[in-house]
Structure 1
Amino acid sequence: MEQPSLPQRPSAPARPRSRDLGIVIGTAAPGPHNAITDVPGVRVGHTTVRREPDVHSGVTAVVPDLVGPRTPLPAGVFTGNGYGKLIGTTQLAELGTLETPVLLTSTLSAFRVADALVGWMLERPGCEEVLSLNPVVGECNDGLLSDIRARPVRQEDVRAALDTASGGPVAEGCVGAGTGTVALGFKAGIGTASRVTDLAGRRRTAGVLVQANFGGTLRVLGRALTPSSVGSGTPAPGPDAGSCMIVVATDAPLDARQLTRVARRAVFALARTGAAYSHGSGDYAVAFGTGSPTAGPVADAELGPLFEAVLDGVEEAVLNSLLAATTTTGFGGRTAPALPADRLLAALAAPPR
């Protein structure tokens, strides 16, 4: 019997996050929810599409308030390794503006999701006369655990994620676009974090959300950790490849060029987590701003604290995506083990080998 696709509303996390375990990355404090939604005017929605045993997929929507073709937000994009399908990249890079929410999903569902996003946008107030629209949709390949060829994400799933997007805590792990993803040998998924920092004399927030699905060897606080070293059993099967989609939001008044610099740091941060940046990896970051540069642009020389905030935030978001995820057996009987929090702490406490 088919199970329905379900919007995943934010709730208190069932599994510990990085900071719950005392694993603190960097010195800047997080926002109230340690999530991308700590940036004012940013909401997140998920629809999880799961039909046991073969389908583990979904869609995640990062929705900035008021974004649209008539009210675009300044934005930048950076490609670390371009083996991916980030729909809308060229216009975003050319014009430096974001016209729609940023949606994440499964590789072969990305095109259907983009079409559904266009339909949803055209129905928004103020879009009655719109004749051109640039949807931004990123993807990761969840074919290890999900029947990717079924293209299970439908228009109604996209609309549900958009319509239920909200502020506050963000569901992480095996939800939305992270339902079937795997990273660093473990079951992964969606992760998020934020940092509040001083920028040019003003308190500013940077929030990140990741869809983690990449290869390499997990590093936590600089320590390399394999599934065997933390006692989680056999690592998830598959080649040392995959992808990571990163969305960065900030209320700092930056222009598109500066936001592109921010996006670069987001991709650089994956190296801290042990990313391999392999041939088959699609590593992308989209960064957008909710603060108007006309309010007083920030000089490039003053961007250091924001760069550091994004580096720390991405590192923590990836770890949160792993800690929140649960062991999943999917398509073809393949299994991706969860990262056990107690054994992670024991491995970190043990003397380095």
Structure 2
Amino acid sequence: MDQLTIATKSKTYPMYIGTGIIDQLPEVIRDTCKTVSKVLVISDKAVASLYLDKVLGILNLHFQKPLSFIIPAGENAKSFEKYYECQTFALEKGLDRSSVILALGGGVVGDLAGFVAATFMRGIPFIQIPTTLLAHDSAVGGKVAINHELGKNMIGAFHQPNAVLYDIDLMKTLPEIELRSGFAEVIKHGLIWDPEFYRWLTNEITSLEDLQGEKLQHAVLKGVSVKAKVVSEDEQEKGLRAILNFGHTLGHAIEAESGYGKITHGDGVAIGMIFALKVSEDIFNINLSSEKLREWFSLFGFPTSIPDEIDRNKLLERMKHDKKATSGKVRMVLLKDIGETAIQDIDDANLLRFLNEFH
């Protein structure tokens, strides 16, 4: 088992990564939460059908009547309605400020459960138990939120978990499309921060079948390590943390314009990263081997261009409503080299040109 310490200005907490470590959940809860009156597990239907009974069985041996609340699987669950239902359930079951919420699932569950914890009685502890590769990114850093029809993650808070327990065994049942989605964020961490890790990925991972066992655990550990370093320096995205949005400006716009859930987050980010490299090459007059990245992405089945049916002008408007936009200008994270980022404001005319030229 590997252990990382996530250190931010507001909280320092442990992250455990290993195989078969879910049995240590009660110990993690006791070590990181002072007193525990009630335990509420929030999960989605897909994950709950696989792992909820096991988790509740483990908790039953140490805590009185652990509770569970199940949301639908998919991005649409990050809604006002499901958020309100979670809050109502917590109030009806008598949760108080000494209660703890466990987020058992992927990024959607983590974001929603974390936002519920951040706002229930002005904030109670929660613990992330990721079950997807994508959640290696979202489970660390304390960004919790729900979606609005005008934008992804527009209503949220910064609320750090008390701990993250990442059992690699819980990813064995992950569908291939979700494994691919999470792998996009792993690649992102190499591109923005760690050239050596990026080279390891391109050499060692040539198909999704390579993402298992020791290679999967190493990829998770290195990806989380990058996220932890960035978050420790900039918890609330006022500076450095913005680089974690590499590929997301266009990726989020494609997700929103397609309709949440129609394209996975990772597939959107994959398109966004290729686009960001193309823009970087143009603006800085450099060669970042964007076509080689595109070819490598195609090995995993990633989409490598904007879907034809999506209107580029509508994408531009979506990008201008992004949380990182300033004074109506789109702010993009670009690369000057692998591991060397640059933040750039791009005007509408140039951005629309880039979108139209990106095939």
TM-score, length of structure 1 as denominator length: 0.29
Which protein shows a greater Rg? 2
Q: Which has the higher contact order (CA 8 A, sep 6+)?
A: 1
Higher helix share: 2
Higher strand share: 1
